[in-house]
């Protein structure tokens, strides 16, 4: 397999982008710590007590309840569409391969049914 100069350029650009993102993120964190330090030093000079704050704020992420049914619908519709296309377009000798996306169909139906079975109608 031969690679071109364009392939190398794309790879270098991706690596440079990732490193640049991490560097900018590091600079932002460093600037935030510097501001917190200056505020604390100013409060100490004035004799104001400050509560302890964690350096990294905790992110409260609630799991989104709609992820499973949306993923289930996407998997179900994509696999059904793929099965239809394969059934209509495959040559006769490989016609039995139209059921190949069937596990993704079952996975989508499983996600959707799990979402509805998990919901408790009495609460």
Cα 51 from Cα 59, distance rounded (Å): 19
pLDDT at 55: 62
DSSP, collapsed to helix, strand or coil, labels residue 122 as coil
Does the predicted TM-score (pTM) go above 0.85? no
Cα 11 from Cα 14, distance rounded (Å): 5
In this model, does residue 123 exceed pLDDT 70? no
How many CB atoms neighbour CB 80 within 10 A?
Answer: 15
Q: List, for residues 24-69, the tens digit of each pLDDT value.
A: 999 999 998 898 888 888 888 888 887 776 666 677 777 788 888 9
| Residue of 89, 32, 85, 22 whose CA lies nearest to 56 | 32
Cα 67 from Cα 74, distance rounded (Å): 11
Q: List, for residues 70-115, the tens digit of each pLDDT value.
A: 999 999 999 999 999 999 999 988 888 999 999 999 999 999 999 8
pLDDT at 41: 86
Ordered by start, the domain boundaries in the chain are 1-60, 67-118
Cα 41 from Cα 104, distance rounded (Å): 58
């Amino acid at each position: 397999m031969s690679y071109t100069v364009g392939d190398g350029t794309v790879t270098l650009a991706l690596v440079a982008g990732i490193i640049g993102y991490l560097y900018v993120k590091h600079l932002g964190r460093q600037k935030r710590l510097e501001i917190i330090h200056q505020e604390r030093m100013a409060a100490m000079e004035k004799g104001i007590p400050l509560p302890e704050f964690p350096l990294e704020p905790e992110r409260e992420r609630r799991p989104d309840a709609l992820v499973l049914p949306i993923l289930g619908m996407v998997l179900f519709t994509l696999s059904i569409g793929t099965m239809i296309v394969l059934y209509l377009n495959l040559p006769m000798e490989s016609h039995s391969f139209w059921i190949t996306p069937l596990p993704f169909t079952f996975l989508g139906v499983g996600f959707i049914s799990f979402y509805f079975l998990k919901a408790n109608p009495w609460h």
